[in-house]
Structure formats: structure tokens, C-alpha cells
Amino acid sequence: MAVQNIAIQPFEGQKPGTSGLRKKTRVFMEPGFLEAFVQSIFQATGGGQGKTYTLGGDGRYFNKQAIQTILKMAAANGAKRVIVGQNGLLSTPASSHLIRLNKTDGGFILSASHNPGGLDEDFGLKFNAANGGPAPEAMTEAMYAASQTIESYAISDADDVDLSVCQPTRLDGMQVDVIDPVADYHDLMRELFDFDAIRGLFASGFTMVFDAMHAVTGPYAKAIIEGDLGAAPGSVRNAVPLEDFGGGHPDPNPIWAKELMTAVMGSDAPDFGAASDGDGDRNMITGRGIYVSPSDSLAVLAANATAAPAYAKGLAGIARSTPTSAAADRVADALGIEAFETPTGWKFFGNLLDAGRVTICGEESAGTGSDHVREKDGLWAVLLWLNILAVRKTSVAEILATHWQRYGRDYYSRHDYEALEVSKANAVMEQIRGQLGDLGGQQICGLTVSHADEFAYEDPIDGSISRNQGLRIYFEGARAVLRLSGTGTQGATLRVYLEIYEPANGDHSQEPQAALAPLRDAVRLLGRFDDLLGRSEPDVIT
């Protein structure tokens, strides 16, 4: 066995986004494309000599082949050890935990998260740093710079590693430890939550449905929810990870998790319903006859976190991404703790978590987590909800109603305009950007604008500044945020986030889209959606 140095030319389009590099699977399968990006990661992080890494992914198409390539490149770049999940599987939060538990130098995560998988669908790769969190902007910029000047990559000509059996092995002198992808994560969850209380909940006749969407969370949920906590067999559905996610779209929202929504809205609905996405970092929460918005879920979890042993002493602070509703801010204010508003992307929470300034974080795109890892964690959110339900002994609907009676309700929705021509999406953003300084005091569709800006974030820990993080229009009692998504693989996705606040003594029973209609119309008018996009209706409403 020998190291080969393969000459290569730089590829276009290897600039990582908020969650690494995502492309169509066929692009990653082009000769040298994956190798060039992996070598760029090694170069941007000081090389691999003597280092230890974690490695795994969500099991989507090309996952196993890509892992073999990365193992051989790690060996060729001098890595000492790689910890890889059995059959190449590792959820994103489990990867973050393994990095921290084993004090590795980082980890490779193969996933396009909630994007569909398959030969003609999406693939992705991101590198998490030694703190367990996504690579910070300075690191991703260094990766991109390296990808633009790369001349060769190093790879071993060794045989593939058998990933089907949990055992240690060697690859060109490098230690490869194939491990149970669930075990260490399962142990961590036992430390955080009152499993006895949750077992008692299920023993009392409590029912739930967890839709793993044929993605990576299936084995984790089967082991923990059914195996340890005692939920009835069959409570975890679509539990076997498949390369194409069973032909579905592994995005846990009411549009794509239709099976779950049908179950919880039916005549024989379970008490609780939940789902997770492709790589296990997102979640959807439902109760009997009710859907919990991600923004509300974050606020409820923060307000009730002390029900779980890990958070019994209270929270240091709460952080949310700017598109997420301000519901969590009101909880922080009531608790007398800090609240932070960051750009979209979990990496922006990392410094706050490392500095001990926050305990719980959340994004509107169904991502919530805490300081136990440096990633959002779908199953963690489900278990915290179960712990809260076990302690409060009430329903999801009653918990929401009580929460709104105390804090008020933020009617909230996200409207996605997908696969747009980039020029049209940019035209809408420029149309609104050009008006930001003049909107204050204007009345639009019955709403009065208080102020508007383009969000720029100054990190309170390291002082770094991230500009152009979304257009924000503040109305009296309402807010709209517009941004272009960085998680798609073709065209542009324009996301419009709508939020109207109803005070604690107000009407909390309205249908969200009806409540938000004036704000929706005002944004479409300001952005000239009909003219510039050629349509006003979004592709997906969540």
C-alpha cells in the first residue's frame, strides 16, 4: 500500500455555505470533485498529520463510497485515527458529541440535511471543528481559498475498510475504529433527561408517533424511545435509513411529513407526534390535533427546561436566529437572562455556547439544541418535550395555551419561493433593500412600518462582524424578514418569514395564515413579487 499524489485542477463552486458544501450527487461523483474539496479541508485546517477525526453521514446515496475515499485520504494525509459509524452512519448531533467526547481535531459529516437523496438528488459534506460545531466563517473561507489553488490530492491505494462490523482496524498505519453510532449518544441522553419519568409517562398509556422519514434518526429513536423508554412497538415509523429516504423528502414539516400529520390530526390521534430530518438535527413537534411551530417550540422548551435534570438549575441565556420569532426573547426577559439574535447558521451559536453565555438555541427551520453539543439536535428536542410532558402531566395543546396566556402568541409562518432564477430572486431583494431607509412611518396594507434594516451581526465574544444577514422590516406589532437560502442546490430559494404578535390578553385562536394575511400582502407589495417573480404564491408554507 502506498500514498498516491494525484494532480488536479480547481473546481468551480466549492464555496461552503451555512452548512458546508451541497451539490447534486452527480456533481460530487465527478472524478476528483470530492477529493479536491476534502484535500482543501486538510490544507485549510493545518494538515492531517497526527490528527484524529470522526466520520459518518446520514446514509444517503454515495455516502458509503465517499466515506471510503475520505478514510484513504485521511491516511494519506498522516491522520493518526478516524472514528467512523457502523455502515457509515452518524447523525449530525451524534457526530458533534463524538468530537467533544473523544477530543478529536474535528469531524467530517456527509449529509445534505433535509434535502432529498438519490443519484439525481442532493449530497453534501461539511467539516465540524474541534469544539464539535460547524466550521466558523474564517475556516470555511480558508477552505474555499484552498479549493481555488489546489494542484493535487493525496490518497492511499489501500483496500476499502469493512464498515459493517464494530471493530478496530488499520488502514496504511492509521487506526480506524468502527463504532456503534447510537451508543455514546444514548448515554448522553440518559445524563440529560429523567428517563424514569418518561418511562412512567408511557406506562400510563401515553402514545406517540415518531417519523424517522427513512433517515439516520431511525436507529437512535428505536433504541431510545422504544427500547429504553418503553414506547409501544411501532411508535417509531420509517425507521430504516434508506439511500433515497424511501423516495421522500426528509424535511420535518407539515408538507413533507404528511404521514405524521395525518396521524396526529386523525380521529384516533396519538398524544404526541414528532419527526426528524435526514441527518437528525431538525425536528417537528405536534400534539393531538395541533402543530407546534419551531419558534413556539423553542420558547416552550426554554420556559420549561427545568423539568429536565440537566437544566434544573436554570438557563444561562437563550439564542435564536434572526428569522426565528421573538417568542423566545419574551421567555428570556421573564427569566431575567440574556437573549441573543444571530444570523442563520448554527455556527453562529458556537461562540456563545463555548463562552457559557447561552444554554438553549434555536432556529426557525426546525432546529433546536443546547450546550450538550454544538449542533442542533432533533431527538434531543423530542426527549425534552417528553420530559416536560411527563412532569407537567398535561397535553401539548394545553401547554401551548398556557404559554400564550402568559407570554402572548407570535403568529408565525415561513413562505418559501423555490428554484427561482437567481436574477429574479436578487431583484426582489434589491427592490426592498433600496427602500429600507425610507420605510419608517409608511402605512402598508393597514400596517405601520416602524423601521427597517439589513441585519449585521457583531459577535459579542470575538467581535467578528457578519453582514448582509437578511432584510428586516419592523411594523408596529409585526415583523418580516427576507433572505436567500444557502441550503439549496439549484437556482435560488427566497424565504419570507412573517410574524405578528398577539398580546397575552389577545385572541390566540386565529388560523395563522389568516392572522398573517395583512403582513404577507405588505411584503409582496413592497417586493413587487407579481412583477419581479412572475408569481405571488410560495411553493411551500410552513
Catalytic-residue membership of 113: yes
Place of cell 446515496: 61
446, 517 contact by CB (below 8 A):
no
- Whole-angstrom distance, CA of residue 46 vs CA of residue 242: 35
- If one counts every other C-beta atom within 10 angstroms of the C-beta of residue 249, the result is 20
CB atoms within 10 A of CB 166: 14
Q: How many CB atoms lie within 10 A of CB 228?
A: 15
> Which among 383, 405, 391, 403 is positioned nearest to 303, based on CA atoms?
403
Q: In what order do the strands lie in the sheet with 367-370?
A: 338-342, 317-321, 360-363, 367-370
Q: Identify the active-site residue in 40, 95, 113, 321.
A: 113
Task: Measure the CA dihedral 410/488/62/240, to 10°.
Answer: 20
Contacts of 233 (CB under 8 A, 6+ apart): 226
Residue pair 444/522 in contact by the 8 Å Cβ criterion = yes
For residue 88, the one-letter residue type is: G
User: Hunting for cell 411553493 — which residue is that?
Assistant: 539
Q: How far apart, in whole angstroms, are the C-alpha atoms of residue 220 and residue 532?
A: 45
Count Cβ atoms below 10 Å from residue 481 Cβ, excluding itself.
25
Other CB atoms within a 10 A radius of the CB of residue 405 amount to 12
d(CA 301, CA 483): 26
Query: Is 10:143 a contact under the CB 8 Å cutoff?
Result: no
Q: Can you name the residues that pair with 420 across neighbouring β-strands?
A: 492
Q: Strands 492-502, 443-444: parallel, antiparallel or unpaired by DSSP?
A: unpaired
Q: Is the dihedral of CA 9, 62, 97, 21 positive or negative?
A: positive
CB atoms within 10 A of CB 313: 9
Residues with catalytic annotation?
113
